[in-house]
Every structure is written in C-alpha cells, then in structure tokens.
Structure 1
C-alpha cells in the first residue's frame, strides 16, 4: 500500500490523527481500557501472570529463600525491562518497518510516555502487519521469559518473571493501538513526515 493510494479519499477515510505525546497518552489510557478481545487477553495475561508468579513462589518454597535473591532478581528484571528490552523492542519494530518498506526511521526517547518513540516517515502499515509486529515483540519479551522462568531457579527465576511483567506494561502503547484497530475490519496506519500518526479505514 502506497501513501498516495491511501490518501485517495474515495476509498479510505481518516478516522484519527495523533501528533504529540499528550495525545498519545490520552489515546493509550482510553483504548487500553476499551473492552474487546485484545484488551481482555492483555489484562488476563497480567492477572494470570501475577497468579502464576504466586503459585511458583508457593509451590517451590521460595518464600523462605534469602531475600537478597528476591531483591537482585526482581531489580535485575526491572532494569532489563527499562534499559535493554525497550531498545531491542523498538529495534525489532524499526527492522520490521524497514522490511515492510519504510525509507527513513526516527528513534527518540519520549519522557512523557517514558518509552522510545519510533517514527517512519511517509510510511503505511496495515492492521494485519501491525498485529504481527506487536505480537512478535510481546512473545519475545513477555511470553517467552515467563515460559523460561519455569525451567530456572534463584535469581534467574525472579529476573525473568520481573522482565515478563514490566515489559508487558511497556508494551501498553502497542496493545492500545491494537485495541483501537480491532473495531475496524480493514484499516491502515500512516506515519507522516511531520511526525504525525494517522489512522485510516477502508470505506464500504
């Protein structure tokens, strides 16, 4: 899909435009709470992950483990989720955007959202491709660490559980976008050269 074709008003309609971090913050808080299959899966993951962590602690007698192991493991996972996994997460997004045809990509830290912001200039991404990209990064940095945690112990167990949970929180923006796109059967995301993100839907 080329940007020129997407801007053809006879086939596609601009349904939402987001320009700055304050608009993104409102968008995230609105659509991460919208009830649909995406948000139900997301909140269920966080809740079940929390219950699973409690089960692991109780079933393995981890409550009696030296508290220093707890502190090092949980803090280590938090630091990885703040300093390392966000960089790799956004790098995977950037590589995916380039793979799908983006010519130029800007990466910068957004203090208001406390996350990196990826902006591909004059680039169109379909709903299906966006779901695929977000699903892959969520699998790599949240689901996979949770599964691996079952086969570890000590500091690694706490670190992986911590990484799984905190990365899921970091991915909230991705899931909010997926939640918004869920209501449109056929839609696209356009990143303009003015750092504006525009959502289009296909007209019937």
Structure 2
C-alpha cells in the first residue's frame, strides 16, 4: 500500500511540477502512476489532496538538512554542510524544488498551514541555535532568518532557474564539476560573511 501511495505521489510530482495543479488531471496522475482512477481515489479523496500530499512529503525532505544544525555543531562546518546538502537536493530533486517554488509564488494557498506550523517551529528553533552561536562569539553578527532565507535562495536557484543557467553557461546540475564549483562558491560567499572578524 505504501509503495502504491508513493508511486501516485511520484507521478503527481512529475506532472504538477510541469503543469501545475490546475493543468494536471486525476486521469493523468493515475495513468502515469500505473493505477486506475478508482484505485487512486482509494488513497486520496481528491486531486487537491494528492497535491497537498506531494508538497507535505517534499517539505519534510526539504527540511531534513536544516534539522541537522545543532547547538554542539561547529557553526562554519555545519552551515557549510547545510549549503552542500541543499545544492545536492536541488540536483537530485529539481522537480520538487520547482513545484515548491511555484506554490510559494502563488501565495501557498494549499500549504500555508504547514508553513505557519511545522516550518515556522523548525526555523524558529534553528534561529535560536544561530543566535546562541553568535552570542558565544562563534559567528559574526547576523540575523538568523535572513541567513536561512539567503541559503534557500542561492541553493534553490540552481534548480528553479536551471534553464537560465544552461543558457548562460551551457551547463548545470547534471555536471558533477559544476555542482562542486557551485557548492564551493556559495559556501565561500556565505561563510566568509559569517566568520568572526578579528578586532571587529
């Protein structure tokens, strides 16, 4: 049952990320997942419920790397690893990243509850960790929320604007060397801004 449910969510992700909620039909989801429409409705009551299921699963996966930031983590190493994992997620889940972006651009009509509860709770908790690092002199002065927003924006750009990157550089996240180059540069840009300045 779990395998079939995941097959439906995988098929829906592929379609929703290309055509959006309103441009995708239940019939297309069922056909792509290899199940009947009746069978799909056994697992989900509506297309909107499938969509929320896709986004909720995505949000959980998307937040996994953030959960790893703990108070006893070395902040520079921990944030550097967070950046690396976020770019890797953009590489391995580009459709998921684009769908999440599309939902946000539309005002998060079906995901707002998740954003205001589970996402807010996690981000607020990690903001406290970052504040504690700053107070202990392990990081330069930085607003935790703006740091997190900046990491999200820079790392997800590689999935959400892949066509732009390809047009400008004729490469992208399919190229292992480009992934390493992108990771190193984003880490340098962000981490150099976080280091404690001597005498500052």
Scaled by the length of structure 1, the TM-score of the pair is: 0.26
Q: Which has the higher strand share?
A: 1
Scaled by the length of structure 2, the TM-score of the pair is: 0.26
Q: Which has the higher helix share?
A: 2
